[in-house]
Structure 1
Amino acid sequence: MTARLENRFADCRAKNRAALVTFVMGGDPDPAISREIVKSLPKAGADVIEIGMPFSDPMADGPAIQAAGLRALHAGMKLKGVLKLVADFRREDSDTPIILMGYYNPIYVYGVEKFLIDAKAAGADGMIVVDLPPEEDEELCLPALKAGLAFIRLATPTTDDARLPAVLANTSGFVYYVSITGITGAARPDYSRVAAAVKRIKGHTALPVAVGFGVKDAAAAHEIASNADGVVVGSALIDALAKTLDAQGRGGPATVAAVGKLVGELAAGVASAAKESVNP
């Protein structure tokens, strides 16, 4: 775990609240506006930022994030551009952790060793690569850890106690619990089941457990934050962004503002869970 991630989760823990982890697609709807959105996230209330690496075949993503990736690709965004986005952000913000999220194919094409060097130099803190299981750790996970980048693994409702040790073996940074089976942006999770799952995972690891998929608003963020160390929101932010685009898919100042407004509401939902636990 890099120092930035460790410090941010520790800071949130000291404030008796979960961390708000926000996902946006790098380059959506275009590189310039994407840069402004990422820069605005910490001020709006984001504690950790996940930046999507656009890919043409995002198998785990629902329609909203698929569309975001296509918009980014059509706007000319490539992996090198995503790393530049991170570097641009890091020049103004040295504290907020950044996680790169996506699929292995673009990294493989870029070159694993070069990617790890460039990602570290840009200021990334870790990555989530959803299509590399623990059996493939030598491909990217172990080299990433050696390079000083956290490798965050996903656990799901179907990850039983027999499978969990393999999932956690080389996981670092935090554990990302997928609260529902299926693709991103799907139905709301069953909060009682999420609470039980978080408790079960925490029985196997000292890492923070962040929960995502299906978190759409402040009320959902509040429910998840009541039991988890982090709340991950992605599709809802992409939806807010998409609603501001014109007929040609172009954004503007309203695009940045819409994402920031929702992040602020989500941050308030997370904070309200902390107040509730202090004053039951």
Structure 2
Amino acid sequence: MPLTDFVRYLNAQHPLPASGLRSTTPFVSEDGRVCVHFANLRLESAYAPIVDTASGELRGHAAELHAVGLRTRQPLAADAVFVLPSDDEEFVYLDRLVRTLHALNYLTYLNRHSRGKLLLKVHPRHVASVAADHGLAFEEILRACGLLPEQITLELEIGEIADSGEANGNTADGGEAAAHLVRAIANYKSRGYGIAVGRFGRRAGSLERDFGLLREIRPDIVKLDPLLLAAEQPLPALVERLRALGAPVMVEGLDTAHLRKGARASGIDLLQVHPPLRRLLHADVGGPVQSAAA
């Protein structure tokens, strides 16, 4: 199906606006790529390579969101986009919209680059807001795009999801949040998605709790929190403990000799790399672009 026809199909599948944030035709096809209009913003896809630390072999790509004002063209941090929804329904809509955008652009991107799994973030609030059947709606979208869940790895921040249940100091709420997380990940895995845990080790005080969650969910990748690298803490013991659970360990950072040397010394398996100035593989015809946006 031609890209323009598929964009029309996707727009027809989306409900009419429930608020002023949504567009009746959120997906827009321009010059062989797709962007999304949401809340007077233009949302675009970019991709960072994931490589094997030892061999340098390409293993896949991680999708990243770029946002600019439709009128002002001023950039907006990706995290700030997810502050805009006013309720859970709007939030789930946005989170799924962004992942659909990345999946669709990745199909076009793969026509010009090596294939590999696509790493997509799932916002913690999305996981908490969906009661059951996690991944079902997105699977239907993927299949319409010509992709399968087996080609997708979903990145979830298990610590933040569990922390949200403990925010009011109620242990029972924290336990239910963790149980809901385990059920959600079981749903995702049953549909064929890979699972990556993001920002692991963010809070030292929650490390043992988070290791307990890892033993239950058995992720395919564990991605360390960038602060662990910035603090230059000794990582080999933590990495060895994670690898004992059977999950490759990944870090994200600027692609420098220092990062690669430190990753090899620490036994880290995978790198999600960003060349200096965040020069990402952009989803447009021109290929790589430079951006200082986070």
Shift of 1:149: 0.4
Are 2:201 and 1:156 equivalent residues in the alignment?
yes
1:81–1:252 distance in 2 versus 1, CA, 3 Å: closer
- Greater fraction of residues in helix: 1
Which deviations, in whole Å up to 9, do the C-alpha atoms of 1:44-95 show, x marking residues without a partner? Answer: 974321113679xxxxxxxxx9624668999x97443223123334556674
CA contact (8 A) 1:98 1:125 kept: yes
Shift of 1:106: 5.6
1:209–1:42 distance in 2 versus 1, CA, 3 Å: closer
Matched residue type, 1:217: T
Are 2:245 and 1:195 equivalent residues in the alignment?
no
Of residues 58, 61, 64, the one that matches 1:52 is 64
Partner of 1:240: 278
Partner of 1:127: 154
**Matched residues in 2 for 1:139 and 1:54: separation?**
31
CA contact (8 A) 1:188 1:215 kept: no
**Matched residues in 2 for 1:162 and 1:31: separation?**
36
Are 2:258 and 1:229 equivalent residues in the alignment?
no
Identity of aligned residues (%): 9
Shift of 1:199: 1.6
Shift of 1:238: 8.6
Matched residue type, 2:185: C
**Matched residues in 2 for 1:216 and 1:126: separation?**
22
Matched residue type, 2:262: E
Matched residue type, 1:190: E
| 3-state SS of 1:49 partner | strand
**Matched residues in 1 for 2:209 and 2:80: separation?**
37
CA contact (8 A) 1:68 1:238 kept: no
Partner of 2:215: 168
CA contact (8 A) 1:175 1:208 kept: yes
Matched residue type, 2:288: V
**Unmatched runs of 5 consecutive residues or more in structure 2:** 1-33, 68-74, 85-93, 163-177
Of residues 100, 105, 114, the one that matches 2:137 is 114
Larger Rg: 2
| 3-state SS of 1:206 partner | coil
TM-score, structure 2 normalization: 0.51
CA contact (8 A) 2:99 2:120 kept: no
**Matched residues in 1 for 2:114 and 2:288: separation?**
21
Matched residue type, 1:199: E
Please report the RMSD computed on the Cα atoms of aligned residues, expressed in angstroms.
4.6
**Matched residues in 1 for 2:180 and 2:223: separation?**
18
CA contact (8 A) 1:27 1:72 kept: no
Answer 1 or 2: higher relative contact order, Cα 8 Å, separation at least 6. Answer: 1
TM-score, structure 1 normalization: 0.53
Give structure 1 regions of 4+ aligned residues with deviation exceeding 6 angstroms.
28-32, 42-45, 71-74
Partner of 1:136: 180
Matched residue type, 2:100: K
**Matched residues in 1 for 2:111 and 2:246: separation?**
32
Partner of 1:101: 121
Are 2:129 and 1:82 equivalent residues in the alignment?
no
**Matched residues in 1 for 2:290 and 2:64: separation?**
19
Partner of 2:189: 145
CA contact (8 A) 2:277 2:290 kept: no
Which deviations, in whole Å up to 9, do the C-alpha atoms of 1:179-203 show, x marking residues without a partner? Answer: 526xxxxx72415x12221122223
Which deviations, in whole Å up to 9, do the C-alpha atoms of 1:70-127 show, x marking residues without a partner? Answer: 68999x9744322312333455667411111141446768x84211333465344210
Corresponding residue pairs, total:
201
**Matched residues in 2 for 1:92 and 1:160: separation?**
41
**Matched residues in 1 for 2:237 and 2:50: separation?**
30
